Amino acid sequence: MNKMKSEHKPRSKVMRKLNRKSSIVSILPQDLLLEVTKQIASKSSTPLRDIRVLRATCKSFYRASKEKLVGRSLAVDKEDMLQWWENNAYFALLRDCADCDNLEANFILGVEEIYNLNQGRSGLQHLQRAMDGGHLAAAYFMAILLFRHAATKYDAMNILNRVSTGDLSSTKSVTPCTKSGNPTVNRCRRETIRVIRKSWKKEFEIEPGVPCKHRNCGRDDGDGVIDPWVKDGESPRVFCSHLCRWTYEYHNFFGQI
């Protein structure tokens, strides 16, 4: 009997400590708890695990973790390993976060639905939502898709010209881009290819790129040497028009996947 009492004493002390911590948290402003939870969701290297731990601490943090702002801020790109271990759980997480207007989640879902799930309309809607929120890589990928069709090719070029400025929200007119090597475009290409390589299971064929017949179109901007439109992607090149410039980008993108 004495042994049983001694076993219960430490547990009761632990429970009292937990109760004191919970009571302290409960008197903190909900806005502060929400901000703490948001920071964990956006800055942690393991956000999903840390949010789950936080939820278990008390009801106040549990309520904060369920707020839409937390889902919008959660760094889903840091949970991509979950895709290999628990694929269904990973995409359930993406959909929950996308419903909270998480831009990265909408971008990843857009890629997945278009190329793996044959859900083109839904995929474009997710890309559009991310693009409307200012996600540059989503806008870049949307433009690449639109560039495939003659009817939407000029819409695609207008989007790509805006991506090159790094600001999708600006209402100012954008000068058509005739030079490659833009760091923002290069970054968007690399980011999009990274997401595609992790989820793309289908082959995609496009017609081979045909260099412009203008003798100076596509020349290397560094030394002026005229050479074919190779798939280097990073070297600055000068083109005779923004149509040629973005045609080069289109083939360069698919050439690197």
pLDDT (mean) for 17-21: 50
Question: Taking the domains of the chain in order of start, what are their residue ranges?
Answer: 134-257
> Which backbone phi and psi does 160 adopt, to 5 degrees?
-65, -35
pLDDT (mean) for 211-229: 67
Q: Can you give the pLDDT at residue 203?
A: 59
- 68 neighbors 88 (Cβ within 8 angstroms): no
pLDDT (mean) for 166-173: 82
Measured CA to CA, the distance from residue 72 to residue 212 in angstroms comes to 44
pTM, two decimals, is: 0.80
pLDDT above 50: residue 1: no
pLDDT above 90: residue 169: no
The band of 207, judged by pLDDT with boundaries at 50, 70 and 90, is low
pLDDT tens per residue across span 27-61: 677 788 888 889 989 998 888 888 888 888 888 88
Q: Can you give the pLDDT at residue 14?
A: 44
Greatest Cα-to-Cα distance within the chain, rounded to the nearest angstrom = 97
pLDDT (mean) for 75-79: 87
Distance of CA 25 to the CA centre of its chain: 33
pLDDT tens per residue across span 173-190: 788 888 888 899 999 999
Radius of gyration of the chain, Cα coordinates, nearest whole angstrom: 25
The band of 129, judged by pLDDT with boundaries at 50, 70 and 90, is very high
Structure-model confidence comparison of residues 135 and 56, the more confident one: 135
